Structure 1
């Protein structure tokens, strides 16, 4: 693992703000795990090697969710992970904002040279998002898109057609990340934003997701529970 000085408090704050604004957003679990890793970094040696089980106990998350967060953070370029076989745990090198920018520049240079980057796509902007490729959407198309989205959400809220039988029970084919992306859209329409979703306890969010995935509640009911939990947290 590359050695370098540990991140100071200002650098950690910049890292958290950077990833809170990136598009697409990190999943809620990945963002919370990143904040916990920043907190667990040794301030003298820069060492950061908490176990997945330990993070589960500290944060009230499932082991599967924490390990999925590790993969997401690494694939997005937030950190570098090295598995230490003798200790049966991971060591993490969390990149500062300057290091992320340097990684992006290096990746672009390698892509131009036709060389393999050797890294995951570390937040290199996709060509379709370049300003020169963006065109103003016609008002008619915007209205049609809104209608389609509203229709899709209404169908999802009532959604028995999205249920499949697994092990003798009905389960929706959706993962935690997709559920969170849908929830973020609702919170943004309500004016609470992504920050509002982060105010909900992690355990409550996962419990709501599981109820929706298992077909116990509809999407509308699940979102209602999350909105109630947010309003309660503000009281």
Structure 2
């Protein structure tokens, strides 16, 4: 079903459908929200209270995607369906308007996430040392290589920032395309003379917060 309230080309929706059919189960449901309204819905196995034209509920996966313009996935309550459900949401653009593509998976669906790193093995000169993850103050991508820091010492690792972002425990947060920090090593957060946010670590290192990660950091650190 497609809402008549938005000028959405059928071809755009068909493109999304063709991509999704390669990997989502047949019993999954698909919803698309534009601005603050659901404009498309295809039901899988679910008993649905969601209707085309319904407002996007606060704190739903669709709402979080629209607010942050980032991928969101979560196990949700029964506000839209009669049972709790797992949903993954992705930011999309339709006719230049921000939207959210939501995949609703069966209640029996279970996610498997890789285990968190408990240590990183770092290289200095021609020696390798396993460093406990809680001792690492921050991690940096520089010149297409990844470096992490412990007590002011620099170590090189073969793991990318993208992989680290997925598998680091939640004491770490990404603040920039080039930096991930351990929140326990933060001394203070302040604005510089251009009003950009800067994080100063306890060892004196100062790192910029990228605008694209600012909302995530505000939510996590509650400031």
Q: TM-score, normalised by structure 1?
A: 0.26
Larger Rg: 2
Higher strand fraction (1 or 2): 2
Higher helix fraction (1 or 2): 1
- Asked which structure has the greater RCO (Cα within 8 Å, sep 6+), the reply is 1
Q: TM-score, normalised by structure 2?
A: 0.27
